[in-house]
Amino acid sequence: MNATLELVAERLSQLIGQTAVPSRPPMPVSANLAASTASFVSGPVQAVDHALKGYDLDVSVPPGLVVLAARILDNAGFGIDAVTGVDWMAQGEMEIVYDYFHPSSSSRVAVRTRVSRADPELPTISAVFPGANWHERETHDFFGIRFLGHPNLAPFLLPEDADFHPLRKDYKP
Amino acid sequence: MLNLGPQHPAAHGVLRVLMTMDGEWITKAEPVIGYIHRMHEKMGENRTWAQFLPNTSRIDYLSAMHYTHAFVGAVERAAKIEVPARAEYVRVITSELNRISSHLVWWGAMLLDLGGFTPILYAFEDREKILDLLEGLCGARLTYCYYRFGGLCNDVDDEFLNGTRTFVKEMRPRLGMYRNLVTDNIILRKRLTGVGPISAELCRKYGATGPVIRGSGVPYDVRTVEPYSVYPKFDFKIPIYQEGDSMARYLVRMDEMEQSLRIIEQALDNLPAGPFMGKVPRVLKLPPGDTCYAVEAARGRFMVRIVSDGKDTPYRLKLRTPSFCNLSLYEEASRGMILPDALAMLGSLDLVIPDIDR
């Protein structure tokens, strides 16, 4: 883990603190990475092996903290890579994954959160990263997740009068 | 209100831009997309891992090799499939050839937007040589589906290797001719210098990558910052320009073509012998969890995020395309610009609309 990742991991751990986060199975971590980042291996902020997963830090936050997490990453110089959703219908939840990349250091952070499937809403991060505006609009298009405070959640890739969300697992064409 | 409609010679595909004008100056330019939205991400969920391979070429058909590379790389990373060295070298050769052919299309099309009708014909003449090489190799001129999980579909033959060497020898003087004809042309310099400035901070906030961020002075190239495949073995420069205007982005791409020729030469010289395909299970099922893989496509950072639940079809397949993020900054960056400058800037962003819409 380089200095940028350690700084961000520490700040995010402080942010999450004692808040309960949804449980996930542990991520595969290579042996030497685990030795140097023992305090981050388990829990909501996990260092993972880039060669195995494609990103370096895996962070789980409750939905209310996504904006503060985005701000921490913005201050550390990260750029927004993508915002997307995953529909876990069997668990009655929708997961929103924020991917961040760093322009100069080889650091990739994935921030995840989960909302209930029946009423999926969470704050928008487009005030921190204007690029997330389009990503969130597309995620709303595909999943129906509402981003509170977003300036324009009208259909983007789908037709203007679309009232369906195709990437939901119970979508019938 | 001016509608740069989905059918327009300068809109680079089916892009619609709603421009609120004040005379000839733009007060607000809002891109409207979705005219070629085919929902590749949903198709990914309904097909097995291997059945999705042809889709990858069609996301951005001008640099199809890179997109197949990212998907194949993601699956190989998740399933821990080893790729033999020969296959990796050939992947680099074909990817770099694809980068050159994509940049030639960009070059010709952008100059066509600016009113120069000749260069596109020269560019397509060179591009034809690349397309013939790749057609002889994998049977397709545009939407190659050449990579497979664990390696390649078929091995390269001497005809391809000799043809590529000849192409590299012939392309270098052509790039010199392009420099004399177009890059050093006073009309182009006046049209592009100072037009459409994009700061590095804007790129970071919007996630713009590729020549857009490298034209703004940030040395971000996935091949060096997050190395993949065998790129660490090659010696090449990442062209960076500080000005952040359309001319800087133009020069980044022209230099990238030269650097791609260098990479191809080094790969041809050091091409190892051996198998072109690794060991892959007959029925491919990935372990549950998510995996990412990013490549430096011709337009910027293309990332694939696959979420698997242990079955033989993806649970979720996210395609993070560079043109989507590069276009998202257009609304903010084009405020107050005069219309011809705004179109020059749109051309310098190198957009491919199927890449935006997927």
What is the structure's pLDDT at B10?
Answer: 64
Average pLDDT of the residues in A3-22: 73
3-state secondary structure of B318: strand
How many Å apart are CA B305 and CA B318, to the nearest integer? 5
Whole-number pLDDT of residue B184: 86
Interchain CB contact of B275 with A (< 8 Å): no
Domains of chain A: 3-19+40-148 (3.30.460.80)
DSSP B264-300: HHHHHHTPPPS-SB----SS--PPSEEEEEEEEETTE
Q: How far apart are CA B31 and CA B26, in angstroms?
A: 13
Q: What's the CA angle centered on B263, arms B262 and B264, to 5 degrees? A: 90
Alpha helix locations (H) across chain A? 3-16, 31-36, 38-41, 50-53, 66-75, 132-143
**Highest-confidence range of A10-19, A22-31, B146-155, by mean pLDDT?**
B146-155
Strand order in the sheet with B300-308: B289-297, B300-308, B316-320
Flag if A166 and B42 touch (Cβ within 8 Å): yes
State how far the Cα of B22 lies from the Cα of B109, in Å rounded to an integer: 28
Q: Give the pLDDT of residue B131.
A: 93
The confidence score (pLDDT) of residue B314 equals 92
Per-residue pLDDT band for A43 (boundaries 50, 70, 90) equals: low
Instruction: Report whether pLDDT(A25) > 90.
Output: no
At which residue do the structure tokens 């120069």 appear? B116
At B103 the pLDDT is 94
Q: What is the mean pLDDT of residues B251-267?
A: 93
Domain that includes residue B214, residue range: 2-357
Q: Categorize the per-residue pLDDT at B259 as very low, low, confident or very high, splitting at 50, 70 and 90.
A: very high
Task: Find the CB nearest A131 among B34, B206, B301.
Answer: B206
Distances in Å between the Cα of A74 and the Cα atoms of A102, A103, B206 are 10, 12, 11
Q: Which amino acid is at B340?
A: P
User: Are the C-beta atoms of residues A139 and A96 closer than 8 Å to each other?
Assistant: yes
Q: How confident is the model at residue A38 (pLDDT cuts 50, 70, 90)?
A: very low
When scoring B318, B324, B327, B329 by the number of chain A Cβ atoms within 10 A, the one with the most, hence best to mutate, is: B318
CA A16/CA A49 separation, integer angstroms: 22
Q: What is the pLDDT of residue A1?
A: 67
Phi and psi of A60, rounded to 5°? -110, 125
- pLDDT at position A26 is 47
CB contact under 8 A, B318 and A82: yes
d(CA B70, CA B149): 11
Residues of chain B positioned with their CB less than 8 A from the CB of A97 = 290, 305, 318
Q: With bands split at pLDDT 50, 70 and 90, how would you rate the model's confidence at A28?
A: very low
Q: Specify the higher pLDDT residue, A27 or B79.
A: B79
pLDDT-based confidence at residue A106 (cuts at 50, 70, 90): confident
pTM of this structure: 0.89
Token pair recorded at residue B139: 């049977």
Find how far residue A81's CA is from the centre of its chain.
10
CB–CB of A103/A76 below 8 Å? no
DSSP B233: G
B39 touches chain A (CB under 8 A): yes
Q: Taking the CA atoms of B227, A9, A75 and B322 in sequence, report the sign of the dihedral they define.
A: positive
Chain A residues near residue B292 by CB distance under 8 angstroms: 53-55, 99, 108, 110
pLDDT of B172: 92
> What would the mean pLDDT of B207-227 be, rounded to a whole number?
91
C-alpha–C-alpha distance, residues B26 and A68, integer Å: 34
Q: What is the pLDDT of residue B307?
A: 92
Asked if residues B52 and B68 have their Cβ atoms less than 8 Å apart, the reply is: no
Count of the separate structural domains present in chain B: 1
**Closest A-chain CA to B15:** A157
Q: How far apart are the first and last CA of chain A?
A: 45
Give the residue among B104, B105, B106, B98 at the shortest CA–CA distance from B133.
Answer: B98
- Kindly tell me if the per-residue pLDDT of B235 is higher than 80: yes
In this prediction, residues B58-67 reach a mean pLDDT of 91
Q: Is B135 helix (H, G, I), strand (E, B) or coil?
A: helix
- In angstroms, rounded to a whole number, what is the distance separating the alpha carbons of residues B128 and B122? 10
B292-296: average pLDDT: 93
pLDDT given for residue A29 in this prediction: 44
Mean pLDDT of A149-155: 88
SS3 content of chain B, % helix, strand, coil (to 5): 50, 15, 35
Inform me whether the C-beta atom of residue A53 falls under 8 Å from chain B C-beta atoms.
Answer: yes
B77 and A99 within 8 Å at the Cβ level: the answer is no
pLDDT of B44 above 60: yes
Interchain contact B83–A (C-beta under 8 A)? no
Closest residue to B207, CB basis, from A25, A81, A97: A81
With a cut of 60, say whether residue B187 has pLDDT above it: yes
Query: With an 8 Å Cβ cutoff, is B204 touching chain A?
Result: yes
Tokens of B120: 């596109």
Taking 60 as the threshold, does the pLDDT of residue A32 lie above it?
no
Beta-bridge mates of residue A114: A95
pLDDT of residue A161: 85
Q: φ and ψ at B292, to 5 degrees? A: -120, 155
pLDDT tens-digit readout, B108-133: 999 988 888 889 999 999 999 999 99
Subunit contact B225:A50, Cβ cutoff 8 A: no
Q: Report whether pLDDT(B162) > 90.
A: yes
Of the pLDDT bands very low, low, confident and very high (cuts 50, 70, 90), residue B93 is very high
Mean pLDDT for the stretch of residues B89-95: 94
If we measure between CA atoms, which residue out of A103, A101, A99 comes closest to residue A125? A99
Instruction: Give the separation between CA B52 and CA B48, rounded to whole angstroms.
Output: 6
User: What sign for the dihedral angle of Cα B315, B319, B320, B326?
Assistant: negative
Confidence of residue B67 (pLDDT cuts 50, 70, 90): very high
From the CA atom positions of chain B, what is the Rg in Å?
20
Query: Given CB atoms, is A130 within the 8 Å cutoff of chain B?
Result: yes
Q: What amino acid is encoded at A70 in this protein? A: A
- Output the domain CATH number for residue B219: 1.10.645.10
Average pLDDT, chain B: 90
- Identify the weakest region by mean pLDDT among A9-23, A82-96, B47-61, B202-216: A9-23
* pLDDT surpassing 50 at residue B51: yes
DSSP string, B13-50: SS-EEEEEEETTEEEEEEEE--TT---HHHHHHHS-TT
Q: Is the dihedral of CA A132, B62, B169, B91 positive or negative?
A: positive
Give B277-290 pLDDT, tens digit per residue.
988 888 888 888 88
Q: Cα separations (Å) of B304 from A22, A124, B213, B289?
A: 25, 23, 20, 14
